[in-house]
Amino acid sequence: MSKIAYVNGRYVLHRDAVVHIDDRGYQFADGVYEVCEVFRGGLIDEKRHFDRLAYSLAELQIVAPLRPEVLAVVIREVMARNRVDNGYLYVQVTRGVAPRDHVFPPKSVRPSLVVTARQIDPEKSAETARKGISAVTTSDLRWKRVDIKSISLLPNVLARQLAREQGAYEAWLVDSDGMITEGAASNAWIVSGAGTLITHQIDHTILRGITRTRLIEIIAEQGLTLEERRFGLEEVYSAREAFVTGATTLVMPVVRIDGRQIGTGTPGPVASKLRAIFHDAAERT
Ligand code: PDD
């Protein structure tokens, strides 16, 4: 079956899908994106993802390319044409195509919209979660507005590459005060010796993860204790458990950080339980 992408109003063969060299996404990384999980044929927390897309666009003064109800139709069509029932949906919006100039182009320039969908075997992720992943810490080199889900991801790319080269899956980013902000493509969490869940508070130095938001609701329902605050390396190394959250990782146990075993060095009960009940609590549409 041929893969299909939506590009600026047309459904095209994925292998033929192109954008112009003057697209501001290509020239300046002047754009935003969303990644939404597809689970059993439905989208997980779709409304929250598209509300965040609207937020990212508004913060960068990029006009929404389609009304939300039209975008919802396009998304469903891309999922259907690619027969994706488990995997991910990717939506990218840039400020559009215009001769290279840092200043915004005239209002007549329409934003560019790309939608793709990818099938993933859920068993692979489940298998990874049974073993847990490794992470390494590295300096957070990103700009000061990472609450905007911008396609400008060079520091994240470099951090993930560093992790890969050190045999780890994720990089945890450390700010200039020695505090963990988040993962290169996930939010970072620890469980303290007392059983308290800890994750960085919401501000401009982390992305407000949709998985994070949903998990906070689940944590409350479960009667667990949560602290949204900064935490440093000492707390990480002495944590009972660690995990990351994200649309592509769900709740993923982290069993080793910077080569040090976290807790027992195997996925802990808190992360494993939260992962197991996540989809029952999330909204699927
Ligand atoms: N990344 N923090 C960063 C820097 C991220 O890139 C992501 C997600 C998250 C988690 O957000 P959410 O729970 O809404 O997926 C946190 C996506 C999956 C990506 O770039 O592929």
Q: Please write the tens of the pLDDT for every residue from 72-95.
A: 999 999 999 999 999 999 999 999
Residue whose CA is at the smallest distance from ligand 1 atom 2: 186
Measured from the Cα of 184, ligand 1's closest atom is 4
Q: Is the CB of 209 under 6 A from ligand 1?
A: yes
262 has a pLDDT exceeding 90: yes
Band of residue 47 on the pLDDT scale cut at 50, 70, 90: very high
Q: Is the pTM of this model over 0.75?
A: yes
Say how many Å lie between the CA of residue 152 and the centre of ligand 1. 13
Residues in the chain: 285
Same domain, 112 and 212: no
Query: Do 143 and 206 reside in the same domain of the chain?
Result: yes
CB 182 less than 6 A from any atom of ligand 1: yes
At residue 204 the predicted structure's pLDDT band, cuts being 50, 70 and 90, is very high
Marked catalytic residue, from 107, 144, 149, 273: 149
pLDDT of the residue at 125: 95
Domain co-membership, 30 together with 111: yes
Mutate which of 44, 148, 158, 186 for ligand 1? The one with the most ligand atoms within 8 Å of its CB, which is 186
Separation of 238 CA from ligand 1 center, angstroms?
25
**Do 176 and 261 fall within a single domain?**
yes
56 lies in the same domain as 138: no
In this predicted structure, what is the pLDDT of residue 1? Answer: 79
pLDDT score at 274? 98
Co-location of 147 and 242 in the same domain: yes
Query: What percentage of the chain exceeds 90 in pLDDT?
Result: 99
149 with 264, same domain? yes
Residue 3 has pLDDT above 90, yes or no: yes
- The Cα-based distances of 277 to 90, 220, 250, 280 in angstroms read 24, 13, 11, 6
Q: How confident is the model at residue 153 (pLDDT cuts 50, 70, 90)?
A: very high
Q: What is the CATH number of the domain that holds 78?
A: 3.30.470.10
Residue that is last in its domain, among 54, 85, 120: 120
Are both 109 and 142 inside the same structural domain?
A: no
Please check whether residues 21 and 81 belong to one and the same domain: yes
Q: What is the DSSP string of the chain?
A: ---EEEETTEEEEGGG----TTBHHHHH--EEEEEEEEETTEEBTHHHHHHHHHHHHHHTTPPPSS-HHHHHHHHHHHHHHTT-SSEEEEEEEES-B-SS-SSPPPTTSPPEEEEEEEE--HHHHHHHHHH-EEEEEEE----S-TTS-BS--HHHHHHHHHHHHTT-SEEEEE-TTSBEEEESSSEEEEE-TTS-EEEPPSSTTS---HHHHHHHHHHHHTT--EEES--BHHHHHT-SEEEEEETTTEEEEEEEETTEEPTTSS--HHHHHHHHHHHHHS-B-
- The reply to whether ligand 1 has any atom less than 6 angstroms from the CB of 207 is yes
Tell me which of 120, 146, 167 is where a domain ends. Answer: 120
Report whether pLDDT(238) > 90: yes
Average pLDDT score, the chain:
98
- Domain range for 20: 4-120
**Where a domain ends, among 79, 99, 120?**
120
The tens digit of pLDDT for each residue in 95-104 reads 999 999 999 9
List, for residues 97-135, the tens digit of each pLDDT value: 999 999 999 999 999 999 999 999 999 999 999 999 999
Q: Is 185 in the pocket of ligand 1 (CB under 6 A)?
A: yes
Instruction: Enter the tokens of residue 189.
Output: 């969490």
Residue 34 shares a structural domain with residue 175:
no
Same domain, 93 and 153: no
Answer yes or no: is pLDDT of 183 > 90: yes
Token couple for 217:
């609701």
Ligand 1 pocket check for 187: Cβ under 6 Å: yes
| Together in a domain, 144 and 181 | yes
Verify whether residue 124 is a known catalytic residue: no
pLDDT of 50 over the 90 cut:
yes
- Work out how many domains the chain is built from and give that number: 2
